[in-house]
Structure 1
Amino acid sequence: MHPKVAKPAARRTRRTHTPEFKAQVIEACLQPGISVAGVALANGLNANYLRRWVKEHREQTARNTVKGAVVVSRHVKPTALVPVTIEAPVARECGEIRIDLRRGATAVQMAWPATHAALLGGVLKDLLR
């Protein structure tokens, strides 16, 4: 019998990415509401590698911070703040809540303004005790 000879292990090739490509996908990940896994999938990357790149970018940015001044990386554009105006909710008439209650020989009919529905719960609790 011939002794079995082990086959040499296949060499894996490591992909390399340009700094521009890395900066582009990191910038995409830093946008609000964007999934790192989604960006990785769309660009054919492993999500764990992309998370590591984003983490390293954030650490590098933190190291570049000097006395409150941020040195912006030349590969990533800063995001602009957008002013937002929040208006108070407008109270509108929603109609009435109509309730018919019967308990034994007692019958109660109620019409309650829908705008004060929160108060109605307390009144019903007291009535039904």
Structure 2
Amino acid sequence: MDVNPKQRRRHSAEFKAQVLAACAEPGASVAAVALSFKLNDNLVHQWRRGRGASPASSATSTTLAESAPQFIALSLPPPSPPPSAPPSAPAPAVAPVAADAIRLEFKRGALGVSVTWPVSAAADCAAWLREVLR
């Protein structure tokens, strides 16, 4: 039987489940399993990630669901207020920052620098910050 090299092969859900089960065996590598089934290992990787797998196969979906990481919601405590300045030192005069601005503060020893960028120029801010942090 001649197969047109430009024509894609179609694999049944049972075949995909068999390949994925072989990948799930302890010590099995995806490349070795793909080679044994005469498949490209990239295709098997796609099947493992859930792309190209038929939803009709319950074994395939169960295997993928077991290996997929689960989202875990964490509750975080509310942020603590910043420490206040000592009462003997005068408070520095800081202009109010607009809600749509990016504010960066750098401190190195006694030197402190505060930079404010508009959110509309966030890409420029990121480029500048990369240069500063080099």
Q: What TM-score do the two structures reach when normalised by structure 2? A: 0.35
Task: Answer with 1 or 2: which has the greater Rg.
Answer: 1
